[in-house]
Amino acid sequence: MKNKKGVEMSLNVIIIAAIGLLILLILAFLVVNYVGKTQKGLDSCTAKYAGICSSSCSADQTPIGNTDCSARTDGKTSCCKILSTG
């Protein structure tokens, strides 16, 4: 029965290591999920092209295709970049 204490200690180490690994996996998932959302925001019409989502572009705006505006359901499906006047 003297060896029982050594067995319990190694079992405790295994349990603590498993809990630590689980916590690391959860943190990794959260970081990857956050980075994905951030990248999607950086690829938006406003951030990437300094434009606005509009129903149509006016004469002083340049239309840009294939942006996040095309997925909108409010009718503002055109990404319009404002041309500089200076």
What gap in Å lies between CA 79 and CA 50, rounded to an integer? 9
Write out pLDDT tens, residues 42-82: 667 776 766 777 777 777 777 777 777 776 777 777 777 77
Beta strands in 1-86 (DSSP E): 51-54, 61-64, 78-82
pTM equals: 0.45
CA angle 12, 13, 19 (to 5 degrees): 90
Give just the sign of the alpha carbon dihedral 14, 17, 21, 27: positive
Chain-centroid distance of CA 54 in Å reads: 24
